[in-house]
Chains A and B, each alone.
Chain A
Amino acid sequence: MIYQGKQKIWSDYQKEIPDDHWFYVRSCIRQSFFPASETHFVKIVRDLLGKDLYETPHHTTCGGIAYHSDTIPQETAMTIVARQFALMTEAGYKNLVTSCITSFGNYCEILETWREFPELEARIREHLWKACRREFEKPEYVAHASDVIFKLRGEIAERAKYHLVSRATGEPLRVVEHIGCHYSKMFPHKGVGGAEYPCVLSGMVESWGGQVIDYPERRHCCGFGFRQYLVKANRGYSVSNTHKKFESMEPYHPDMIITNCPGCPYFLDRWQYVIAEQTGKTYGQNGCGIPALTYEELAGLVLGYDPWDLGLQIHQVGPEPLLDKIGIPYDPNRKYLGLNEKEIMKPGLPTVLKCC
Chain B
Amino acid sequence: MDFGFKLSPSSAVNLDTVDHRRFDRLAQLVPDALTCIGCGSCSATCTASAWTGMSVRKVLLGLQRGQDAEVDKMLSGCMLCGKCTMVCPRGINTRQLILTLCRLDKKGEMVR
Contact = CB atoms under 8 A, between A and B. Distances in A.
Contacts, number: 33
Contacts of A199: none
A274 B8 CA distance: 13
B37 interface: no
A237 B8 contact: yes
B1 A277 contact: yes
A181 B95 CA distance: 47
| Chief secondary structure at chain B's binding surface | loop
A279 interface: yes
Contacts of B4: 232, 235
A33 B110 CA distance: 60
Interface size class, chain B: under 10
Nearest to A248: B12
A274 B2 CA distance: 10
A236 B3 CA distance: 10
A233 B5 contact: yes
Contacts of B3: 235, 274, 277-278
A232 B6 CA distance: 11
A236 B12 CA distance: 16
A22 B4 CA distance: 44
A235 to B, nearest CB: 4
Nearest to A217: B12
B69 to A, nearest CB: 22
B7 A275 contact: yes
B7 A236 contact: yes
Interface in B1-21: 1, 3-8, 10, 12
Interface residues of A, number: 17
Interface stretch (A133-141, A238-246, A257-265): A238-246
A113 B75 CA distance: 51
Interface string A267-293: 000000011011100000000000000
A277 B2 CA distance: 9
Contacts of A278: 1, 3, 6-7
Contact of B8 (A233, A240, A277): A240
A280 to B, nearest CB: 11
A76 B3 CA distance: 34
Interface of B: 1, 3-8, 10, 12
Interface of A: 232-237, 239-240, 243-244, 247, 274-275, 277-279, 351
Closest 5 CB pairs of A and B: A235-B5, A240-B8, A236-B5, A277-B1, A240-B7
